[in-house]
Structure 1
Amino acid sequence: MTAISSAETQAEIDRRRGRFVPWIIAAFFLSFMLPLIAFTVLAFRHAPSEVTPQAYEKGLAYNSALAAEAAQAGLGWRIAGAYDHGAYHVTVRDDDRPLEDARVEVWFVHPAQKALDRHIVLTAQGDGIFSAPANLPVRAGWTAHVTVEDKGRQVQTRFLFEN
Structure 2
Amino acid sequence: MKAISSAETQADIDRRRGRFVPWFIAAFFISFMLPLIAFTVLAFRHAPSEVTAQAYEKGLAYNNALDAEAAQEGLGWKVNGAFRDGVYRVSASDRGVAMEDARVEVWFVHPSVKTNDRHAVLTHSGRGIYEAKIDLPVRAGWSAHVTVEDHGQQLQTRYIFEN
The TM-score bracket by the shorter chain reads 0.7 to 0.9
After TM superposition, the structure 1 = structure 2 runs for residues 31-70 of structure 1, keeping only pairs within 5 Å, are: 31=31, 33-70=33-70
**2:81 is the counterpart of 1:81:** yes
Opposite residue 118 of structure 1, the aligned amino acid is R
3-state SS of paired residue (1:100): coil
Question: What residue in structure 1 maps to residue 131 of structure 2?
Answer: 131
Match of 2:144 in 1: 144
Q: 1: distance between equivalents of 2:71 and 2:127?
A: 25
TM-superposed CA distance for 1:107, in Å, is 0.8
> Given the two structures, how large is their TM-score scaled by the length of structure 2?
0.79
The residue number in structure 1 matching 2:161 is: 161
Change (3 A) 1:34 1:121: same
**2:100 corresponds to:** 100
CA gap 1:44/1:124 in 2 versus in 1, 3 angstroms: same
Equivalent AA in structure 2 for residue 46 of structure 1: H
Offset from partner CA, 1:112-155 (integer Å, 9 cap, x none) = 22222111101112121111111111222221111000111110
| TM-score calculated relative to the size of structure 1 | 0.79
For these two proteins, the number of residue pairs brought into alignment is 159
CA distance in 1, matches of 2:135, 2:64: 35
- Letter of the 2:63 partner, please give it: N
Moved more, 34-43 or 58-67: 34-43
- Secondary structure of the residue that 1:47 maps to in structure 2? coil
Could you say what secondary structure the match of 2:132 adopts?
A: strand
What RMSD in Å do the two structures reach over aligned CA positions? 2.7
Q: Deviations over 1:13-35 (max 9, x none)?
A: 99767655765665566455434
Structure 1: tracts of 5 or more residues without a match: 6-11
